[in-house]
Structure 1
C-alpha cells in the first residue's frame, strides 16, 4: 500500500475535519474508532487509539470473592516460599 504523507483538509464551522479515505484506509480506522490528539510544538498530531486499551478491559474479570490487600500479600509470600522449595 502506498504511504500517504500529507494532505490538506479544511476545518468546518463546527471545528471538525474529515480525515480523507486514503489516510483512514492506511491506518485501518473506521467510523466510531477513537483517535488520540496531541500538540507537538506548532503541529497537531492525530493518531489511532488501540482498540482495546487496558482501561477499556479493566474490571471485566471480577473476582468471585473479595480479598484484602493483606490477604493478597500473604498469598504472594506463600506462593514465593513454595516456589523456592521446588
Structure 2
C-alpha cells in the first residue's frame, strides 16, 4: 500500500470516528453549533483524504501513463475530478 493510501486510510478512519461521535451528539440533543463544527471537521478530513488519494494517482497512475505514452485517459480523469471539486 502506498504512503498516500495509508494516510488516506488513517484520515478516513478518524472521520468515521468523528461521524460516530456526531451521531451520538445528535442523539443526546447536544448544541447545534457544536454538532455543526464537528460536521465541518469531518468534511475537512474527507477532503484531506481525497487529496492523498489524488496525490497517489498522480505519483503512480499518471506517472506510469506518461512513461507508456498513454496520457489521454488520465487527462480526462483528472479533468473530470477537477470539475467535480471546483463546481461543488
TM-score by length of 1: 0.25
TM-score by length of 2: 0.24
Relative contact order, CA 8 A, sep 6+: which one is greater? 2
Larger radius of gyration: 1
Which structure shows the bigger proportion of residues in helix conformation? 2
